Homo-oligomer: A and B are copies of this chain.
Amino acid sequence: MVPSKAEHLKNVAERARAIMEKENVEALVASSCENFYYLSGHPSTFMYTLRMNEVALAVMFRDPSRRTVIIMNEFEAAGVPADLPECELRTYPTWVDVDDPLGLRGGNYEGRRPVNHQVQEMFGLLGQVLAEHGIGGGRVAVELNSMRYPAVNALREAVPGLEFTEAGAILTELRALKTPWEIAQLRKSCEYAEIGIAETIKGIRAGSSAAEIADAFRLALLTHADGSSSRFHMISVGAHFAPAHIFDTRPGQPGDLIKFDVGVDVAGYGSDIARTFVLGTPSDMVKRIYSALRAGHDRLLELIEPGLPMKRAFDEVMPLIRRSGLPNYNRGHLGHSAGLSLAAEEAPFLSPSEETVFRPGMVICLETPYYGYGVGSIMIEDMVLVTDNGCERLNKLSRDLISL
């Protein structure tokens, strides 16, 4: 059976309320791109595409008899489906007018519209909504650490009497466990990323540049993976390992490494996987490095199981890689949770300080990236689902260093 998005949203709300209970929080307010979508079920184009900050709010209440309130400008709000479960829509006017020439909604806004987005109006509406729900002096969790500086000041001015706490830890805890619907999106996202890589490598030869390979990857997604979009494609050729916004047009040479570190968007969820290829025959140094990383990666796949603290994975695998031929290997983490984050990596991390344990339903990226001056980039990255007794790889491409 295909998992339903409505069930997903219900599951998120139930778990959110349990955490709110534990943390003594009356309401949870999402204002960032990913978290607004997570709590409301509706992605904001102003946030996702135009990268605007603090343009909509999703307010979830601890009291399960109260529906989540979406606070949004009228223009974007016109796209919120009428059947969005458990949500109530409240709008505020922005610079864009919406006309009602057929009298479908009853009356146009006739006030003077602002020149651009004003957070004051939005936070004013938040104050009203909280007051209507009787949250006067209670604790409200908001994303203080993700908001821009003037937005936090505007929030405090608009809703002066309330005690705000940081919502980051609550949202991290919630997002770390995926619902069946989320797992289905991430499966597809991994599948599409692998289709993209598999199609792209068919055309790579000595002389191919990172720019050509990046274009081929985007084209492969459009034509072979259901028209999907890349979230990121860090493709490097040869020694030029640094991430590039404008891709390198230098032709690849025999012996050059070709690295794909890519993610594909499916319904707002993104994979993060990596594979490395070589034009012709790899050097002995590359073989040695690859084999050390591979030993670490394979060990990560073996050791993950429910109940294991994430730091234990780091503590065991980092020395293994160093012993296996890369004595200087160094890195802040060897993997991370993934899903909604547009930055690909999100907490919890497989890092020396992470006490969180692996739990069934987590989707984790395992990675042992290497970047070397004069060498380039070597990466193996898999996305796995933590299961009841270990983990399942969501992607299937060979973990070998393959010659093209």
The reply on A105 being an interface residue by CB < 8 A is: yes
The reply on A329 being an interface residue by CB < 8 A is: yes
Residue of B nearest to A105 (CB): B373
The reply on A160 being an interface residue by CB < 8 A is: no
What is the total number of residues of chain A having a CB less than 8 Å from a CB of chain B?
A: 87
Residues of B contacting A332 in the complex (Cβ-Cβ under 8 angstroms):
94-96, 113-116
Question: Shortest CB–CB separation between residue A122 and chain B, in angstroms?
Answer: 15
Q: Which one of B97, B102, B113, B331 contacts A375 once the chains associate, using CB atoms below 8 Å?
A: B102
Q: Which one of B79, B102, B215, B373 contacts A99 once the chains associate, using CB atoms below 8 Å?
A: B373
Name the interface residues of A67-110: CB closer than 8 Å to any CB of B: 75-80, 94-102, 104-105, 108-110
Pair B349/A232 contact, Cβ less than 8 Å: no
Residues of B contacting A171 in the complex (Cβ-Cβ under 8 angstroms):
none
The reply on A148 being an interface residue by CB < 8 A is: yes
Name the interface residues of A34-49: CB closer than 8 Å to any CB of B: 43-46, 48-49
List 20 extra interface pairs beyond A46-B243, A97-B371, CB under 8 A: A44-B245, A45-B245, A48-B245, A49-B243, A49-B245, A78-B241, A78-B242, A79-B244, A80-B242, A95-B333, A99-B328, A99-B373, A110-B328, A112-B352, A113-B330, A115-B354, A145-B150, A149-B149, A149-B151, A215-B227
A-B contact pairs, 27 of them (CB 8 A): A49-B234, A49-B245, A52-B343, A78-B242, A79-B240, A97-B329, A97-B370, A98-B372, A99-B370, A99-B371, A101-B373, A102-B372, A102-B373, A102-B375, A104-B374, A108-B328, A115-B332, A116-B333, A116-B349, A144-B150, A145-B150, A146-B148, A147-B148, A147-B149, A148-B149, A215-B222, A218-B227
Residue of A43, A116, A241, A285 most packed against chain B (CB within 10 A) = A116
In angstroms, Cα B152 to Cα A145, docked, is: 11
Residue of A52, A101, A244, A285 most packed against chain B (CB within 10 A) = A101
Q: Which one of B77, B149, B267, B353 contacts A242 once the chains associate, using CB atoms below 8 Å?
A: B77
Residues of B contacting A211 in the complex (Cβ-Cβ under 8 angstroms):
227
Residues of B contacting A242 in the complex (Cβ-Cβ under 8 angstroms):
45, 75-80
The reply on A2 being an interface residue by CB < 8 A is: no
Question: Given A78-B373, A330-B109, A331-B97, do A267 and B246 touch, yes or no (CB 8 Å)?
Answer: yes
Question: Shortest CB–CB separation between residue A39 and chain B, in angstroms?
Answer: 15
The reply on A271 being an interface residue by CB < 8 A is: no
Pair A51/B51 contact, Cβ less than 8 Å: yes
The residues of A with any CB-CB pair to B shorter than 8 Å are 43-46, 48-52, 75-80, 94-102, 104-105, 108-110, 112-116, 144-152, 211, 215, 218-219, 222-223, 227, 229, 232, 234, 240-246, 267-268, 285, 289, 326, 328-333, 342-345, 349, 351-354, 369-375
In angstroms, Cα B229 to Cα A240, docked, is: 22
Closest 6 CB pairs of A and B: A79-B242, A95-B332, A45-B243, A43-B245, A113-B332, A78-B242
Pair B232/A373 contact, Cβ less than 8 Å: no
Pair B246/A349 contact, Cβ less than 8 Å: no
Residues of B contacting A104 in the complex (Cβ-Cβ under 8 angstroms):
373-374
Residues of B contacting A232 in the complex (Cβ-Cβ under 8 angstroms):
49-50
Pair A353/B115 contact, Cβ less than 8 Å: yes
Question: Given A51-B343, A331-B97, do A75 and B147 touch, yes or no (CB 8 Å)?
Answer: no
Pair A75/B215 contact, Cβ less than 8 Å: no
Residues of B contacting A100 in the complex (Cβ-Cβ under 8 angstroms):
372-374
In angstroms, Cα B115 to Cα A100, docked, is: 51
Question: Shortest CB–CB separation between residue A53 and chain B, in angstroms?
Answer: 9
